[in-house]
Structure 1
Amino acid sequence: MENQNNVKILLISASPRKYGAVNFVREFVVKLCKDIEKVDVIAIDVYDFNIMPCIGCVSDDVKLCKLPCVIDDDMKKLYEYVINSDAIIFATPIYWYNIPGPLKNFIDRLTILENAIFTEGRSKMEGKVAGFIAVGNDAGAIAVIQNLMAVMNSFGAIIPPWALAYHESEDEPINNEKFLLDIANVVRCATLMVKLVKEGKEVKYWYRADEEYTALITSIAREVYKKLEDSLYLNS
């Protein structure tokens, strides 16, 4: 699908369970980006990459924390994705009121981009738009999202209205229409905010919940869910 809005979204998921709820959210967001918002999207899962923990160069000397990172791992490629994106949307499970370890490693390693304030004069995260989606069988979604919001805002990212969606239930996310609508609006509001920042386009309203939009979002979600369900059945 052609990018009609000149917006580049980076979707970062964090789940080792390719048959789980986070993978459904990931595929759903990708389809929303392409079919509804008509923007470019790159989807990565941190479990697919070798991301070593940060070694804290910045604590020794703020000038040492700069690109290229001294750690030789897959972050070299992931830094390119982050720098070239307009918006970053996180889709994460809830691990004891927090994010999984590999995602924590990824975020800690973004310090090098934020620290460009001191090495280059401006954070490489400044002005990027952020959105947040958390999924789990138990409580903790708000704690996860609050933490991610605080970090991204401290990096210099912009948090738009309705930038969060969460599902806390043992029931499948596909059965939570409000969650599906919230996800769609995370993508929508991230796109609108990027356009507002880049082009100064006025936003008449952010969150959509009209019947036509809700029906469309639900239909897309069920299409994605069935495709994943069929794929898992064939591979079992």
Structure 2
Amino acid sequence: MPAPIIGRKLGISKIPQLEKEKVKGIKVLGISGSSRQQPEMSKSERLLASALDHAKNLGAETEFIRLKDLKIYDCEGNYSENPTLCTYPCQSSMKYQDDQMQRVYDAILSTDVLILATPIRWNNHSALVQKFVERMNCIENSDILFGKKLIKNKVAGLIVIGHVDGLQHVAGNLLNFFSWLGFNSPDVAITSWVGEYDEDTTKDWEQIQKNKYTQEDLENMVNSSINLAYNLKKG
């Protein structure tokens, strides 16, 4: 009797790439939520760089933002005082002259595809990503409260990397967040990797690079995101 098929032994189907002439003009924004001191230390950020490289090779315009490099003030919860105080542009951006969240807003509002990369921190996304999520509340409120929909025909994907369980929890929370903002999810919305239980992080990057399923998901996430962005722009 043959052994049962377990997991993804058969792999997954490759999502076809669009012709370069169709990809031309599509913008892909990568946002890193890693707090590592040096960029090359972050595995989620390295995967994000690979995703942006693939998008660029397909013919897309790419932009990269590292949240750690920006001075972003905490959300001050103005919604709790009065919902009309939490709308775009954000009160904190206007209140603090050195707040740099506006750069993130501008990049998101001008992109077609957003790929957010985060490590897993105690079963959740990183603190930097949480700050980003809370500061995006003004975008969502602009639609819910005032009918001013700022996120239209945009696609969002995720890169989630960790060494403990929590992948589905993190991905579920963030995809729900993007849905509330108005983003569309591609056929393959998540690229992920979770390390061995031995927690030997010194060998992680080598394993990530060798993991064919993570690499397939990365390519398919970019391909399906760009394909969906093209169809949304085409109408």
Task: State the TM bucket, normalised to the shorter chain.
Answer: 0.7 to 0.9
Tell me the CA shift for residue 111 of structure 1.
1.0
1:22 aligned to 2:40? no
Three-state SS of the structure 2 residue aligned to 1:115 is helix
1:186 aligned to 2:221? yes
Letter in 2 for 1:184: E
Partner of 2:233: 198
**Counterpart-to-counterpart distance in 2, 1:180 and 1:187:** 11
Tell me the CA shift for residue 118 of structure 1.
4.8
Identity level (%): 27
Query: What CA deviation, in whole Å up to 9, does each residue of 1:163-214 have, x standing for no partner?
Result: 11110014321121210110111111110111111114xxxxxxxxxxxxxx
Preserved CA contact (<8 Å) 1:63 1:118? no
**Counterpart pick for 1:40 among 57, 61, 68:** 61
Partner of 1:174: 209
Partner of 1:68: 89
Tell me the CA shift for residue 4 of structure 1.
4.2
Tell me the CA shift for residue 66 of structure 1.
2.2
1:11 aligned to 2:33? no
Tell me the CA shift for residue 58 of structure 1.
1.9
Preserved CA contact (<8 Å) 1:94 1:100? yes
Three-state SS of the structure 1 residue aligned to 2:68 is helix
Preserved CA contact (<8 Å) 2:123 2:164? no
**Counterpart pick for 1:132 among 153, 158, 168:** 158
**Counterpart-to-counterpart distance in 1, 2:74 and 2:113:** 24
**Counterpart-to-counterpart distance in 1, 2:159 and 2:30:** 10
**Counterpart-to-counterpart distance in 2, 1:109 and 1:156:** 16
From the superposition, tell whether residues 118 and 154 of structure 1 become closer, same or farther in structure 2 (CA, over 3 Å): closer
From the superposition, tell whether residues 52 and 192 of structure 1 become closer, same or farther in structure 2 (CA, over 3 Å): same
- Pairs aligned (count): 199
From the superposition, tell whether residues 14 and 162 of structure 1 become closer, same or farther in structure 2 (CA, over 3 Å): same
Query: Any residues of structure 2 matched to 1:69-88 within 5 Å, and which?
Result: 69-71=90-92, 72=96, 73-88=99-114
CA-based RMSD of the aligned residues comes to 1.9
From the superposition, tell whether residues 3 and 58 of structure 1 become closer, same or farther in structure 2 (CA, over 3 Å): farther
- Larger deviation, residues 39-48 vs 50-59: 50-59
TM-score, with length taken from structure 2:
0.79
Preserved CA contact (<8 Å) 1:3 1:39? no
Letter in 2 for 1:16: S
**Counterpart pick for 2:177 among 134, 151, 160:** 151
From the superposition, tell whether residues 2 and 48 of structure 1 become closer, same or farther in structure 2 (CA, over 3 Å): farther
**Counterpart pick for 1:97 among 102, 109, 123:** 123
Structure 1 stretches of 4+ with a deviation exceeding 6 A read none
**Counterpart-to-counterpart distance in 2, 1:25 and 1:196:** 26
Preserved CA contact (<8 Å) 2:23 2:230? no
Greater relative CO, 1 or 2 (CA 8 Å, sep 6+)? 2
Letter in 2 for 1:158: N
Letter in 2 for 1:111: N
Partner of 2:76: 55
Preserved CA contact (<8 Å) 1:3 1:40? no
**Counterpart-to-counterpart distance in 2, 1:23 and 1:151:** 21
